[in-house]
Structure 1
Amino acid sequence: MPLIGFHASHEQVHPSALLDAVIRAEAAGFQAAMCSDHFAPWSERQGQSAFAWAWLGAALQATSLRLGVVNAPGQRYHPAIIAQAAATLAAMYPGRFWAALGSGEASNEHITGDVWPRKDVRTARLGESVDVMRRLFAGEEVSTDSLVTVDRARLWTRPETPPPLLAAAVSPETAEWAAGWADGLATVAQDPEDLKRMVDAYRGAGGKGPLVLQVHVSYAPTDDKAVALAHEQWRTNVFSPPVCWDLDSPEAFDEAAKHVTPADMHSTVLISSDPGWHAAKLHEFAELGFDELYLHHVGVEQSEFIDVFGERVLPQVAQAGVTA
């Protein structure tokens, strides 16, 4: 049976309401949580983008859940600063924090004014950032002069056990590369055959640790309302790489999404008013080998989703895991 967690979308929900939501999710039976880490939303309609690291401290204090974050060290964030933030959370809340590290998106990273690098450079920069973070977790004084520059950095507050660093990947190629350093793989729901290829690439290259899947869902009392909700809030998120990597503003995403139809939303979001249908889809992901499923309801209002899924979806997924 997979762990079922709650995904907190900082791009869509005010941080105070998002804190209330994660507390409600724990009470409803969600077993863990994760969050995004954006400087800008995907669309002007979403209209939020709070600082994830401040929120994580509040969420860890307000719940007993294990929490993760998707982060891109190397440009907007210096990896020594992310290592310090991660080490502090792991020291305060042992065993309850993890980070999934990726190469980022221009919409968040361009704010530094630095050039947005090619994908191969971003990947190499991520590898260097991971190395810096692991060395800092180990207590080393670190200096480097390459894609990442570090001058005599040392972490003075470190946890007894370093936090897991997962790889955030959306392609088999990245998953295979990340197998050499990651403590697990985190990706986003897509066609099952594509997910199987990613899992095979990661495990085939010796990748260890949990397989984590973020699943976008849209639930409403009717199918029509669920489709409309997904289209209103999430139509800027149907684009595959490199488009989603390289567009650099909410306005650009909104312009690109002008011709996205409600029917197109089924390609990236699980949309249904039937809790049993959602449970069956989640069980299919578990059968692909995913250990943890984090559900992101793409609407702004989270309460109905949390309550319905806590009462009617999570128990069905658990029962399917017992009887499979």
Structure 2
Amino acid sequence: MPVIGFHASHEQIHPAELLTAVQHAEEAGFTAAMCSDHIAPWNLEQGHSGFAWSWLGAAMATTSLPFGVVNAPGQRYHPAIVAQAIATLGAMFPERFWAALGSGEAMNEHITGDKWPRKDVRDARLRECVQIIRALLAGEEVTHEGLVTVDRARVWSLPERSPALIAPAVTVQTARSAAEWADGLVTINQPHDHLREMVAAYRDAGGRGKVVLQLHLSYDPDPDRALQIAFDEWHSNVFPPPLAWDLDTPEAFEIASAHVTPEVVASGAVRVSADLAQHAAWISEYADLGFEEIYLHHVGPEQRGFLDAFGEHVLPQVDVQKPGRRWL
């Protein structure tokens, strides 16, 4: 069975409360964690967006969990800064950190005032950033001119072994193309057939490392409350690409989701149930698809009830494993 981790959603929870939550997740039996990296929430209801890298230092210092983060280098973040951040966490917490590097969303990247590029340009920019970050993590001095510019950069404090750089993907095409450079693949819950196709495309193209799932769910002992939580918090997260990539503010997501219903949210974007056995069955289904690490994201703002219930009743049913110290 897979590693079962806790997903820490910076868009929804005050960073101090989120730190307490991830500490409690370890106490409850979760064996890994990952977090988002946003400048803004997806909608106005969520209402938070702490700085992921500050939080990661605190979270990794106060738990023994391995952690991952989803980051978009190239516009809001210069790749040399991302490399330095990865190196520092890797040096301080050996073999406990990975970073998923994606092409980003306009909502987070528009703040620089730079033009939001086409997807093909963003993908090309990401490839440049990955090459730059890998070179810097190898201790090289890097100068680069292209879609990003680097002038004689070097990262001086390096980990003994570089953290894994994995690819976030929601489409088959992105999964296939990422196989060329990624140390693993991470995606979100989608229809099983689509996930099978994504994993097959990644593996058939030579993709190495683990395949990882972030599972959006909503749990409450009251089924009506579970559905309402999913709708209130995640109604703006039901859109496929390219819309989700190109909307640029929480207000824009609110307008786009004005006609979304609770039933639409529960039809695929969020696994909603008051039945803990049902949640355990869903997790097992994703494990059977080949996902080696599954990070549970309860989309509600209150985490303790979810963590206690899943720690007592769900994790024992899915035979949680501790993660290995290395990805590859």
TM-score by length of 1: 0.98
Aligned to 1:147: 147
Describe the SS at the equivalent of 1:156: coil
1: CA distance between counterparts of 2:154 and 2:101? 21
Describe the SS at the equivalent of 1:206: coil
Aligned to 2:74: 74
Dislocated runs of 4+, deviation >4 Å: none
Please report how far the alpha carbon of residue 146 of structure 1 lies from its aligned counterpart in structure 2 after TM superposition.
Answer: 0.2
Please report how far the alpha carbon of residue 223 of structure 1 lies from its aligned counterpart in structure 2 after TM superposition.
Answer: 1.4
Aligned to 1:83: 83
State the Cα deviation string for residues 165-198 of structure 1 (Å, max 9, x = none).
0001111111111101100001111000000000
Aligned to 2:314: 313
2: CA distance between counterparts of 1:300 and 1:155? 37
State the Cα deviation string for residues 25-79 of structure 1 (Å, max 9, x = none).
0000000000000000001111000000000000000100000000000000000
Please report how far the alpha carbon of residue 222 of structure 1 lies from its aligned counterpart in structure 2 after TM superposition.
Answer: 1.7
Please report how far the alpha carbon of residue 148 of structure 1 lies from its aligned counterpart in structure 2 after TM superposition.
Answer: 1.1
State the Cα deviation string for residues 127-160 of structure 1 (Å, max 9, x = none).
0000000000111110011001000001100001
Aligned to 1:191: 191
- The residue identity in structure 1 corresponding to 2:276 is P
Question: Unaligned 5+ residue runs, structure 1?
Answer: 320-324
Describe the SS at the equivalent of 1:259: coil
2: CA distance between counterparts of 1:79 and 1:72? 9
State the Cα deviation string for residues 223-274 of structure 1 (Å, max 9, x = none).
1111111001110000110110000000000111110001001221010000
Aligned to 2:211: 211
Aligned to 2:323: none
Please report how far the alpha carbon of residue 317 of structure 1 lies from its aligned counterpart in structure 2 after TM superposition.
Answer: 1.1
RMSD: 0.9
Aligned to 1:15: 15
Aligned to 1:238: 238
Describe the SS at the equivalent of 1:56: helix
Aligned residues: 320
2: CA distance between counterparts of 1:116 and 1:40? 16
Alignment of 1:133-144 (within 5 A): 133-144=133-144
Alignment of 1:121-136 (within 5 A): 121-136=121-136
1:35 aligned onto 2:35:
yes
Describe the SS at the equivalent of 1:237: coil
Please report how far the alpha carbon of residue 110 of structure 1 lies from its aligned counterpart in structure 2 after TM superposition.
Answer: 0.1
1:285 aligned onto 2:279:
no
Aligned to 2:274: 273
- The residue identity in structure 2 corresponding to 1:269 is V
Aligned to 1:322: none
2: CA distance between counterparts of 1:210 and 1:234? 27
Describe the SS at the equivalent of 2:280: helix
- The residue identity in structure 2 corresponding to 1:293 is I
Describe the SS at the equivalent of 1:128: helix
TM-score by length of 2: 0.97
Please report how far the alpha carbon of residue 83 of structure 1 lies from its aligned counterpart in structure 2 after TM superposition.
Answer: 0.2
Aligned to 1:100: 100
Aligned to 1:303: 304
1: CA distance between counterparts of 2:52 and 2:139? 25
State the Cα deviation string for residues 87-137 of structure 1 (Å, max 9, x = none).
000000001010011000000000000000000000000000000000001
- The residue identity in structure 2 corresponding to 1:247 is L
- The residue identity in structure 2 corresponding to 1:14 is H
